[in-house]
Amino acid sequence: MDTSTLSDDAIAYDDAAGVYSVPLEACPAESPSLAVVEFVAALEEMDSETLVPLYESVDPEALDDIHESLDGVGSFVFPYAGYKITLTEADVRARPL
């Protein structure tokens, strides 16, 4: 059962690239790290609390700090829950591994 608070309408899929994306502004989460978890939960159609903890892939506080430092330039890439996650200043992208 999907109990994610992220709307399916907010998620885009680029068929040619095989990448899902969501604008951070569309995420109800209070931080980029929580947005990543909610996004993957929505993709997996499951409750975010049943996913592997984000801290097993990346330190959530460090991820939030990195996001603040992006300033419209660059991105941060890491594996999480079977996806290659790319965090930019404006969005989160996920490509299945």
Q: Is 52 left (phi over 0), alpha (psi -120 to 50) or beta?
A: beta
pTM metric for this prediction: 0.91
Whole-number average pLDDT of the chain: 91
Please count the structural domains in the chain: 1
pLDDT (tens digit, 9 = 90+) per residue, 52-88?
999 999 999 999 999 999 888 899 999 999 999 999 9
Query: What is the pLDDT, as a whole number, of residue 2?
Result: 43
In a domain, 1, yes or no: no
Domain range holding 85? 8-96
In a domain, 39, yes or no: yes
16-24 mean pLDDT: 96
In a domain, 31, yes or no: yes
- Please, which pLDDT band fits residue 21 given cuts at 50, 70 and 90? very high
In a domain, 3, yes or no: no
In a domain, 2, yes or no: no
CA 49/CA 13 separation, integer angstroms: 24
- Flag whether pLDDT at 12 surpasses 90: yes
